[in-house]
Amino acid sequence: MSKTALIVDDSPTMRQMVAFTLTNAGFTVVEAEHGKDAVNKASAGGKMDIVVTDLNMPEMDGITLIKELRKLSAFKFTPILMLTTESAIEKKQAGKEAGATGWIVKPFNPEVLLKTIAKVLPA
């Protein structure tokens, strides 16, 4: 059974790139445009094996999204990776406090993306 990834980014290009990489790696991909969209898609049911989210988004930002997801029982322990351009400590800290499993600093290449996912994804 292929694993399902929820990709949250307001930039269609970024979303496409992440989705492309993950699809090629055998994932089933669900895309969301922003936090609210993601929460809706997450609460609609269906198991997600991993969530990859951008931070800066309209409607609902990534940090709030992570907090909201952690409130859902199905996402309590799901690995959530945040994509961030800031390698700044505050962002990482805020992410960790919200419940982010890990982070990927932009710019990244497909290899880094897949490696980081493998790092947090339970077999």
**94 part of the interface to other proteins, by CB under 8 A:** no
Min dist CB 40 to other proteins, Å, is 18
Residue 71 CA to chain centroid, in angstroms?
16
104-55-65 Cα angle (round to 5): 110
**Interacting stretch for other proteins, rule CB under 8 A, among 25-33, 35-43, 54-62?**
54-62
Non-local CB neighbours of 85 within 8 Å, separated by 6+ positions: 105, 106
**11 part of the interface to other proteins, by CB under 8 A:** yes
- Write the interaction track for other proteins spanning residues 61-80; mark x where CB under 8 A is met and - where it is not: ---------x-----xxxxx
Residue 107 CA to chain centroid, in angstroms?
16
Using CA atoms, how far apart are residues 36 and 19, in angstroms rounded to an integer? 19
Min dist CB 94 to other proteins, Å, is 13
Using CA atoms, how far apart are residues 67 and 118, in angstroms rounded to an integer? 23
Residue 63 CA to chain centroid, in angstroms?
11
**Interacting stretch for other proteins, rule CB under 8 A, among 25-33, 36-44, 114-122?**
114-122
Q: State the amino acid at position 101 in one-letter form.
A: T
Q: Which of 57, 60, 63, 65 binds other proteins (CB under 8 A)?
A: 57
Binding site for other proteins (CB under 8 A): 10-14, 16-17, 20-21, 54, 56-58, 70, 76-80, 83, 85, 87-89, 96, 99-103, 106-111, 119-123
